[in-house]
């Protein structure tokens, strides 16, 4: 089984990435294979989020120092906060014998794909874009979670339109009609990909 790969799961805010991930990590076959990569961010923790599990919550000053020291495989600023994937996190997961799953924003995902392409390791990345059934459905999902005001919802919808426009740059496109169906499709993709040898 080839675990020398990493999985990118991208998609607009509110599409249901977290719910799909919960199903994947509860799966008997996948829970011994996958490990969620913990990104660093300067945003404040939401209710029920734990430092070191959901994100590494760090100050903007610390984040900028890490950029200066080239500690990120990718980083980005969106919704007025910095987000990034640390090289050390990927190495740690690989060392533990797991396949890293990165839930990241689309620009960051494209940067990682470019990084591996530049190193002629295109096959190391399993890129998956999780799309909503429609923009109207996405608006409803964001409103229903009740964590953003109307201005923030409008910003997220505009951002979602930009991200959906980049969808074809990903190897796999999954529409999240229901989290269970989407998770099953992603599970099939992961198991098929890790059975394949590197070229």
Tell me if 14 is assigned to a ligand binding site: yes
Report the C-alpha gap between 41 and 52 in whole angstroms.
11
Q: How long is the chain?
A: 199
Report the C-alpha gap between 6 and 12 in whole angstroms.
20
Tell me if 84 is assigned to a ligand binding site: no
Kindly give the interhelix angle for 150-164 and 135-145, rounded to the nearest 10 degrees. Answer: 140
Tell me if 11 is assigned to a ligand binding site: yes
Tell me if 97 is assigned to a ligand binding site: no
Whether residue 37 contacts residue 102, with contact meaning beta carbons closer than 8 Å, is answered with yes
Tell me if 17 is assigned to a ligand binding site: yes
Collapse the DSSP code of 42 into the 3-class scheme (helix H, G, I; strand E, B; otherwise coil) and give the result.
coil
Tell me if 59 is assigned to a ligand binding site: no
In DSSP notation, 150-180 reads: HHHHHHHHHHHHHHHTTGGGSSEEEE-SSHH
Please, which residues have CB within 8 angstroms of residue 195's CB and are 6 or more apart in sequence? Answer: 1, 2
Known binding residues: 11-18
Known binding residues for ATP: 11-18
């Amino acid at each position: 089984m080839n675990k020398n790969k990493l999985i990118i799961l991208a998609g607009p805010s509110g599409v249901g990435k977290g719910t799909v991930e919960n199903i994947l990590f509860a799966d008997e076959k996948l829970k011994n294979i996958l490990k969620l990569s913990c990104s660093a961010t300067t945003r404040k923790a939401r209710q029920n989020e734990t430092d070191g599990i959901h994100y590494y919550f760090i100050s903007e000053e610390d984040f900028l120092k890490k950029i200066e020291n080239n500690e990120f495989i990718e980083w980005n600023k969106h919704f007025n906060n910095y987000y990034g994937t640390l090289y050390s996190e990927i190495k740690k997961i690989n060392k533990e014998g797991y396949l890293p799953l990165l839930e990241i924003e689309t620009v960051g995902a494209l940067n990682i794909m470019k990084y591996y392409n530049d190193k002629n390791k295109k096959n190391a990345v399993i890129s998956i874009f999780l799309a909503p059934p429609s923009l109207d459905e996405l608006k409803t999902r964001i409103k229903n979670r009740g964590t953003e005001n109307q201005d923030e919802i409008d910003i997220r919808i505009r951002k979602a339109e930009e991200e959906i426009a980049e969808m074809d740059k990903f190897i796999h496109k999954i529409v999240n009609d229901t989290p269970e169906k989407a998770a099953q499709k992603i599970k099939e993709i992961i198991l098929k990909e890790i059975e394949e040898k590197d070229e």
